[in-house]
């Protein structure tokens, strides 16, 4: 049997993570951000203007510089990072998904991965890579293959 490795680059990992964030118990959405007047050094997140940063030293003492998306770090008071873990199920579906939302919808393959939390690492914090097993299209079928994903700030 030939095994394929699915290496998700930052942009692919971001798209997978972004799609999964929409159904995850995280507060990454910018809902309630309408009407905010953020400064040029800030960006709206969860109904508040958050200071953009490059390192922990850019943030107030009560916050850390945490990666929320590739190339996008904000000062937050979060204490953990999260990533979409392994799939243990893999199925082909048409027109929808199950498990953790829309991940895999375009390929017709969906899995059942759940969020895994880890302590923050790095500066900015989060953004560490994790080996995962993901449901992916292999020819005309779906199979669980090896891949890589990255963690992001989680409340």
Provide the CB-side half-sphere exposure for 28 (13 A, CA).
22
Q: Is 90 exceeded by the pLDDT of residue 99?
A: no
pLDDT of 106 reads: 55
The whole-angstrom separation of Cα 20 and Cα 41 is 27
Q: CA Rg, the chain, in Å?
A: 17
Q: Lowest-pLDDT range, 13-17, 81-85, 97-101, 123-127?
A: 13-17
Query: How many independent structural domains does the chain possess?
Result: 1
**Mean pLDDT (the chain, rounded):** 77
Among 30-44, 55-69, 128-142, top mean pLDDT goes to 55-69
Task: State which residues form the domain around 46.
Answer: 5-154
- How does 48-82 read in b/e, with b if 16+ C-beta sit within 10 Å? ebbbbbeebebbeeebbbbbbbbeebbbbebeebb
Regarding predicted confidence, which is higher, 30 or 13?
30
Higher pLDDT, 115 or 22: 115
The whole-number average pLDDT for the span 133-148 is 91
The pTM of the whole model exceeds 0.85: no
Percentage of the residues of the chain whose pLDDT score is greater than 70: 69
56 has a pLDDT exceeding 80? yes
pLDDT at 35: 75
Of all helices (H) and strands (E), which one includes residue 73?
strand 72-76
46 preceded by cis ω (within 30°)?
Answer: no
pLDDT tens for residues 34-54?
Answer: 678 899 999 998 889 999 999
């Amino acid at each position: 049997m030939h095994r394929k490795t699915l290496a998700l680059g930052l942009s692919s990992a971001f798209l997978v993570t972004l799609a999964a964030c929409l159904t995850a118990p995280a507060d990454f959405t910018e809902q309630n951000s309408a009407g905010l007047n953020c400064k040029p050094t800030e960006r709206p997140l969860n109904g508040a203007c958050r200071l953009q940063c490059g390192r922990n030293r850019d943030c107030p003492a009560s916050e850390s510089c945490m990666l929320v998306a590739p190339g996008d770090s904000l000062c937050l008071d979060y204490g953990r990072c999260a990533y979409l873990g392994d799939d243990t199920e893999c199925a082909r579906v048409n027109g929808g998904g199950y498990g953790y939302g829309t991940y895999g919808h375009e390929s017709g393959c969906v899995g059942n991965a759940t969020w895994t939390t880890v302590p923050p690492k790095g500066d900015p914090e989060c953004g560490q890579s994790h080996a995962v097993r993901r449901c992916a299209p292999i020819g005309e079928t779906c199979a669980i293959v090896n891949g890589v994903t990255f963690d992001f700030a989680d409340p």
